[in-house]
Structure 1
Amino acid sequence: MTSLLQVLLLASVWGAIAVLLIALARPLLKRLGGAGMVYRSWWLLPLALLAPLLPVPVPAVIEAAPVRAFGEALNAPLLPAEAPLWPALLVAVWLAGALGMAVLQMRAQRRFERAMGSLSPRPDGSWQASADPGLPALIGVLAPRIVVGPDFDHRFSAAERDLVLQHERSHRAHGDHWANLAVAGLRCVFWFHPLVPWATRRFLCDQELACDARTVDPHPALRRLYASTLLKAQLVHPVAPMACHWRSQPMLKERIAMLKQNKRKALPWVAGQVLVVGLCVGLCTMAWASQAGDAGTVDAQVIDTTAPKYPVAAFEQGVSGKVDLRVEVGADGRVTDVRVLSATPAGVFDDAAVTSARAWTFKPALRDGKPVASALKIPVTFEMNDEAPAP
Structure 2
Amino acid sequence: MINSLPELLLRLTICASAAIVLLLLVRRPLRQRIDARLAYQAWLIVPLAMTAAALQPLFAAPVEALVLLPAFGPAGIATETVSAAHPGFAGWLLLAWACGALATLALFCLSHRAFVRSLGTLTVRGGLAYAAHTAGGPALLGLWRQKIVVPADFEQRYSAAEQALIIAHEQVHAQRADAVANTLLALMQCAFWFNPLVHLAAPRCRFDQELACDALVMQRHPTQRRAYAGAMMKTQAGVSVTPSVCHWQSCHPLKERIMHLQQTPSSPSRRRAGRLLVAALAAVTGFAALAARAETEAVPNYAVAMTLRMGEGSAPHTVRVLTPGTFSVRVGEGESVWSGEFTMTSAGPEKLFVRSKISQNGQLVSEPGILTRLGTSSGMKINGADGSPGLTVDMTVTQESKAAPGA
TM-score range, shorter chain: 0.7 to 0.9
Q: Deviations over 1:118-167 (max 9, x none)?
A: 112222x2211212444110011122211111000000111110000000
In angstroms, what is the RMSD of aligned CA positions?
3.8
Cα gap change, 1:354 to 1:53, in 2 (>3 Å): farther
Q: Distance in 2 between matches of 1:208 and 1:60?
A: 46
Query: What is the SS of the residue equivalent to 1:359?
Result: strand
Q: Paired residue for 2:102?
A: 99
Number of corresponding residues: 342
How is 1:285-304 mapped onto 2 (pairs within 5 angstroms)? 285-293=287-295, 296-299=298-301, 301-302=303-304, 304=306
Task: Tell me if structure 2 keeps the 8 A contact 1:72–1:306.
Answer: no
Residue 114 of structure 1, CA deviation: 0.9
Q: 2:339 aligns with which of 359, 367, 372?
A: 359
Q: Distance in 1 between matches of 2:144 and 2:22?
A: 32
Residue 203 of structure 1, CA deviation: 0.8
Q: Paired residue for 1:275?
A: 277
How is 1:73-92 mapped onto 2 (pairs within 5 angstroms)? 83=86, 85-92=88-95
Q: Paired residue for 1:143?
A: 145
Which amino acid in 2 is paired with 1:2? N
How is 1:34-113 mapped onto 2 (pairs within 5 angstroms)? 34-59=35-60, 62=63, 66-68=67-69, 83=86, 85-113=88-116
> Which has the greater radius of gyration?
1
- Structure having the larger proportion of residues in strand: 2
Q: Distance in 1 between matches of 2:108 and 2:211?
A: 24
Residue 353 of structure 1, CA deviation: 9.8
Q: Distance in 2 between matches of 1:184 and 1:295?
A: 30
How is 1:152-163 mapped onto 2 (pairs within 5 angstroms)? 152-163=154-165
Q: Paired residue for 1:231?
A: 233
Residue 256 of structure 1, CA deviation: 0.4
- Unaligned ranges ≥5, structure 2: 311-320, 357-407
**TM-score if structure 1 supplies the norm length?**
0.76
Residue 352 of structure 1, CA deviation: 3.9
Query: What is the SS of the residue equivalent to 2:293?
Result: coil
Cα gap change, 1:224 to 1:288, in 2 (>3 Å): same
Judge which range, 226-235 or 62-71, deviates more.
62-71
Cα gap change, 1:132 to 1:354, in 2 (>3 Å): farther
Residue 85 of structure 1, CA deviation: 3.0
Q: 1:122 aligns with which of 121, 125, 130?
A: 125
Task: Tell me if structure 1 keeps the 8 A contact 2:139–2:248.
Answer: yes
Task: Tell me if structure 2 keeps the 8 A contact 1:296–1:367.
Answer: no
Residue 66 of structure 1, CA deviation: 4.2
Q: Deviations over 1:198-246 (max 9, x none)?
A: 1111011111100000111122211111111111112232112211011
Q: Distance in 2 between matches of 1:70 and 1:195?
A: 58
Q: Paired residue for 1:342?
A: none
Which amino acid in 1 is paired with 2:120? G
**TM-score if structure 2 supplies the norm length?**
0.73
Q: Distance in 1 between matches of 2:34 and 2:197?
A: 25
Residue 360 of structure 1, CA deviation: 4.1
Residue 70 of structure 1, CA deviation: 6.9
Q: Paired residue for 1:3?
A: 4
Query: What is the SS of the residue equivalent to 1:293?
Result: helix
Task: Tell me if structure 1 keeps the 8 A contact 2:23–2:43.
Answer: yes
- Structure having the larger proportion of residues in helix: 1
Residue 60 of structure 1, CA deviation: 5.5
Task: Tell me if structure 2 keeps the 8 A contact 1:51–1:284.
Answer: yes
How is 1:164-179 mapped onto 2 (pairs within 5 angstroms)? 164-179=166-181
Which amino acid in 1 is paired with 2:13? S
